[in-house]
Every structure is written in C-alpha cells, then in structure tokens.
Structure 1
Amino acid sequence: MSRFVVTATPLPGLMQIQRQPLADARGALTRLFCAQELADAGWHGPIAQINHTHTVQRSTVRGLHYQRPPAAEAKLVSCLHGAVWDVVVDLRAGSPTFLRWYATELSAENHTALLIPPGCAHGFQTLQDHTELLYLHSAPHTPSCEAAVHVSEPQLAIAWPLPIANLSARDAAHTLLPPEFEGIAL
C-alpha cells in the first residue's frame, strides 16, 4: 500500500504529493519520504541536503529561489507546522509552460507536499504565524549556482493571497527577468 497519492499539476514534472497518515487512538505516523515510492513521481537521486525553515510572521514571502546547472536540484517541500501558499515557477528553456506558475496551500493539516523538478523557482507566503517547512534537496546548496526571480516579477504576475511582507534584504534585491530571458537549459 502506497503512503502517497501523486497528482500531476499543470506544470510538467511538478507533482503534488498527498501523504496518507496512519492514525489510531495513540496518534499518527506519516511517511515524509520514500525513495522507492517517489521515484515514479520524479524523485531521482539522493537526498543531498535537508533544510528546515521557521517563519515567524503571517504574510511573509520567501523566494523565488533556484539553482542553475550543474547544481540544479529537485526539491520535496512539506509543511510541518502552520500553512503556506507555495509557488513554483517554470523557468526551463523550451518547456511548454515556460514562465507559468502553479500555487497550492501546504499545511500541517492537509498533509500535502510538492515535488519540484530542477529548473523551477520556488517561493512561499506564510498564511499563519510560526510556520515551518521541511525541504529535501537532491543537490547540495552551491552558492555559485544560486539564483532567484523577484517575487513581484511583472512577467509572472503572481497573485499572492496577502500583501507581501517581511522580504529579506536579499530577496528584495533580486532583479527582474530581462525581456530576453530564454530560461534555464538543463
């Protein structure tokens, strides 16, 4: 019996993962990752890094981050506490959904995660105070390959559900995409 229900999203390779907790009178067990079960959903490779974020204030936006090749990475993003509006932007050169975005709510209660393929930028807005996310990365953080798209990029027109708040200085400084941006060649 699989502990995950995998659903394709409108962005090729971006999968919504619905975890299936096992619960009884004592509580619950929820499988967060299984390489064998998630291989069919698109996870190929090791877990090279695991990160945890704690965001104190509702409405905070983080992102839209990605890594360029040769350190392009897949991410599995889960919410452990609170809730976020999670956004993925397709930056893959030649993709039929190039510069389109997909968003969904991830929360501790809905047991939903996103499996994000390489070549996509990721960000989120907290919907509750004290929200925590867990990230599994297929490649280690490589500063020389890190990149980002500004959260207010007009070519994307992301409809954030709340006013944008608490951008870090780093995220606020991200530049807009040049008109000639052709995407990330993987």
Structure 2
Amino acid sequence: MIIGSLAGPLCAGGGFCGGSEEVIEHQRISAASYTFSAALPAMLATTASETCRILQENPEIITQLRENTKTIRAQLDPRSDWVVCSSSVENPIMLLVLKPEVIESKRLNVGDQEQILQDCVDECLANGVLVTRLKSMPPALGAAPRDRGWQPQPALKVCVTTGLSKKEIEKAGVVIRHAITKVMTRRK
C-alpha cells in the first residue's frame, strides 16, 4: 500500500492511498477522515502550504523540535517504571503505553488501562501540562469480521512543541512521569 498524507507532519488533512482494491476499501471505510479523505479541504490545504513556507524560511525549527523530543523522551521512557514509548525515537507525537509486565502483574484489561491513562491525563492537567489519551474509533459498519475486534493499545498521547524552552520541556516530562507514578502507586 502506498499512502500520502498531510495529517501528521503538517497538522493538515486529506491524502491518498494506492493499493489493492481490498486494502483501499478497508482504508476508505475504517480510517479517520484526517488519514484518508476524498478531497483536501481548502483550509487544511492552506495550513499545509503555510507550514511548508515557515519550515523553508526557518529550518532550525525542525532541529529544535528534534531536540525537544529527545529532551522529553529522556524524562519519560527510560526513567518510568510504568510506561514505555511505542513511537519512533524522532517522532514528536509520543504514544506512552503501559509496560506489558505492569499490565500482567496488575491484571489490567483494556478498560482498566483506559481509566488509568485518563487519571494520568487529569493529574497532568491539574499540574499545568496538557496531554491526552489515544482515542480509538469504533469499527466501521462495513468492516470485515476480522477487523471488528481489533483496537489499538490504550496510550497517552504527548505532542512535543517548539513553543517551549528546553527547561519547560524537561519540566513537562517530569510532571508527566510523576503523574503516571502517582496514579499507578495509588492503584491497588
């Protein structure tokens, strides 16, 4: 399958998908609209175009984003007893999932994990850091039977920005890590 999308890298939407008829039909029916859409809305096209212009004029933004991603990741992934980052090392959108041994030792089902992660979101927000949970979509009406039961692993979603200094990014990472620890140690 070949795909092209402006959704992730440019905070826009729309894209294309090429492949076998079965793959395209699955993508068309079950993907979120920001992943695949029939046409790119004008407002999102403008956003993508403006983002490209800004990046061409200020390429140091990418360097700063990479540094901020490394900084916050250093506060979370190797230092947390509870979560691991399942995203690529350079991805500024970090997905933090509960470690398999934590899930097993605490016998957590998907609902338990989602509740724990929501408690982490609430605790972070109470301490001035905005994160969210990865939201899953219900299976599409026309989804094949094999696709109806699959859901992504519950995760915290942390979006890194260039709008904060290195010190602020480090502090945010500490707040997130401490919120996770507080929620997990409170849970029996």
Q: TM-score, normalised on structure 1?
A: 0.25
- Report 1 or 2 for greater relative contact order, CA contacts < 8 Å, sequence distance ≥ 6: 1
Whose Rg is larger? 2
In proportion to residue count, which structure has more helix? 2
In proportion to residue count, which structure has more strand? 1
Q: TM-score, normalised on structure 2?
A: 0.25
